[in-house]
Amino acid sequence: MPDSQVTGDRKSGEFGHVPVLLHRVTELLAAGIEALGDDAVVVDGTLGAGGHTEYLLETFPGLRVIGLDRDENALRGAEDRLERFGDRFAGFRVRFDALDDVLAGSVEPAAGTSNASGIVECVNEHGLAGALFDLGVSSMQLDQVDRGFAYRVDAPLDMRMDSSQGITAADILNTYSHGDIARILSTYGDERFAGKIASAVVKEREKSPFTTSGRLVELLYDAIPAASRRTGGHPAKRTFQALRVEVNRELEALENVLPIVCGALAVQGRAVFMSYQSLEDRIVKKEFAQRVKSTTPPGLPMELPGHEPRFALITRGAEKASASEIEDNPRAAPVRVRCIERIRPV
């Protein structure tokens, strides 16, 4: 979820990179925000540096936003950026699939947040006007060398979005079995040479444990055949993606949050999901496809009352970034955007 400060068409590098598809995301969310008026609340489930939220709050003066992020540094920076909006913003340090706990009032807001309870009460009474999930690792995290997300610099093999808990990428390499390492690389990274890489990792860790990304990158250069290294980007890209997904349980969180978000949407409320890898997009696509189906038994000549679809797809398939957007922000190249709207109450 690449990010930067944006005001209208002005941009600056103060907060990182340009938010991906900023205007299209705003357009997709507008219907629900306008429908609920002064009762409109949007959840930004992947707050990051707060670029999307900032623009939404600027564009819709009556809107309030609940921002979720498990990265303490990201949340603190976003709170500073959004301070001028006062009690229109409430931040929570949680993984985004804890949204149900936030709405239940069982999670304390971040320090400095005011009127969080009022915003939550509004959602519980009227439903969400919108929800945004800009999935994956943020530019800010990639640019923090000591986090271990980037393979182009030597750094500790951490990769935790919440650095206070959970296993690290080094823990995976040093403790997982050959079969589990191969499975992770193949499933989460589409790595053709997963078995060969896993064998090399197990062999190398017998000499000394993995601690830094540089040693892993060197191993990958040796394990992946030269002919394959010449195509498909950096040879470490797929392995680093797979490790990050496993460390942060990203797909598990996505599977958990989809029904929570759909259940919380008001009529005319919309949920937007921005995916950067095929596994994420397939999970979103499958959930949305189920939501827009009629529950009338097949073969009947008419729709049974109460069995009509409660949701409708707003995007036709997965939308992609335009050539101009990609030129402006190369990290937008892989994005796939899907949007769904609630059209009937529960």
Q: Is 50 annotated as a binding residue?
A: yes
CA distance to 19, 25, 96, per residue, from 56 (Å): 12, 9, 19
Q: Is 9 annotated as a binding residue?
A: no
Q: Is 281 annotated as a binding residue?
A: no
- Nearest 5°: phi and psi at 109? -70, 165
- Whether 33 and 122 have beta carbons less than 8 Å apart is answered as no
SS3 category, 164:
coil
C-alpha span between 78 and 5 (Å, rounded)? 11
Count of beta carbons in the 10 Å neighbourhood of residue 26: 20
Q: Is 143 annotated as a binding residue?
A: no
C-alpha span between 29 and 43 (Å, rounded)? 11
Q: Is 52 annotated as a binding residue?
A: yes
Q: Is 51 annotated as a binding residue?
A: yes
DSSP state for residue 303 in the 8-state scheme: P
- Whether 291 and 311 have beta carbons less than 8 Å apart is answered as yes
First to last CA, the chain: 31
CA distance to 161, 200, 240, per residue, from 243 (Å): 12, 16, 5
Residues of each annotated binding site: 50-52, 69, 96, 134, 141
Q: Which residues are annotated as a binding site for S-adenosyl-L-methionine?
A: 50-52, 69, 96, 134, 141
